[in-house]
Structure 1
Amino acid sequence: MVGGNGYTICSGSSDKTIRIWDIETTKQLNIFKGHTDYVNSVKYGSNELLNTILSGSSDHSVRLWDIRSGQQIQMFNEHTSLVHAVEYSPFLIKNNDEVIGGNSNVICSGSWDNTIRFWDIRSNEKEL
């Protein structure tokens, strides 16, 4: 999968890595390692999460990465099968009558385990 922000593209690969490439020079700018199986989906962040990448993998995990440091910020691993799609959720999510989405605080993932899961990136409890 490939995502872009106008100046760079981000790719996820069967070699278990995520790479950022400069569009003009075609040179690799950064590599992110941590997944233990194919990376099936990548997505650039926006707004408050502008310097992040979200990834989903056949290792059943969803991971949030810091572009500047190249380090993993968080891992969400409640799926029981490969993660096919990830997205920064634009929706308002209510949890116990508290609105916690709408400002890029919520991400979602779709898996071959037949679930779509929502995650609060500000919380240690994570799954919504």
Structure 2
Amino acid sequence: MKSKNTKKIKSDKTVRVWDVDNNKQIQSFKGHTDFVWSVKYGSNELLNTILSGSQDNIVCLWDIRSGEQIQVFNGHTNIVWSVEYSPFVIKSSSDNSNVICFGSADNTIHFWDIRSNKNEL
């Protein structure tokens, strides 16, 4: 028997940063087209960034200071459940690379080099 009190869950498809002391929204990031399931703050060189993973199968990298979307990472064929900044830094002769990884309901984990925008790791 179906309950009469079932509510459809709605999503505004945004990532929001809040000042918890003042209970005020500081920043809002719009760009996903479906539920946002995971969010992660950056650290070290990526301190002013946020990663977000969504039911729209994409991962977005955001600049906290400007509120702008820096990069979009495609490649998954299902919901992105988790996003993470990797603690690994790949050193090359020209530059260091920052790596992010994300896991999806398509049973894959992708590793990306943010600086070169390559999924070759």
Listed one character per residue, the Cα deviations across residues 103-124 of structure 1 (whole Å, up to 9, x for unaligned) are: 6700000000000000010114
- Matched length: 109
Mapped contact 2:78–2:104 kept (Cα < 8 A): yes
The residue aligned with 2:83 is: 86
Listed one character per residue, the Cα deviations across residues 25-73 of structure 1 (whole Å, up to 9, x for unaligned) are: 0100110000000000000000000000000000000110000000000
The residue aligned with 1:10 is: none
- Superposition pairs of residues 1-128 of structure 1, within 5 angstroms: 14-91=11-88, 105-124=98-117, 126-128=118-120
SS in 2 for 1:21: strand
* CA RMSD across the alignment: 2.0
Letter in 2 for 1:34: G
- TM-score under structure 2 length normalisation: 0.83
1:91 Cα deviation from its structure 2 partner: 2.9
Mapped contact 2:82–2:102 kept (Cα < 8 A): yes
Listed one character per residue, the Cα deviations across residues 58-92 of structure 1 (whole Å, up to 9, x for unaligned) are: 00001100000000000001001010000001135
Mapped contact 2:18–2:25 kept (Cα < 8 A): yes
Mapped contact 1:17–1:32 kept (Cα < 8 A): yes
Which runs of 5 or more residues in structure 1 are unaligned? Answer: 1-12
Question: Structure 2: how far apart are the matches of 1:121 and 1:91?
Answer: 12
Give me the identity figure in percent.
72
Mapped contact 2:89–2:97 kept (Cα < 8 A): no
Q: 1:52 and 1:68, CA in 2 relative to 1: closer, same or farther beyond 3 A?
A: same
Mapped contact 1:88–1:104 kept (Cα < 8 A): no
- TM-score under structure 1 length normalisation: 0.79
Structure 1 or 2, whichever has the larger Rg, is: 2
The residue aligned with 1:8 is: none
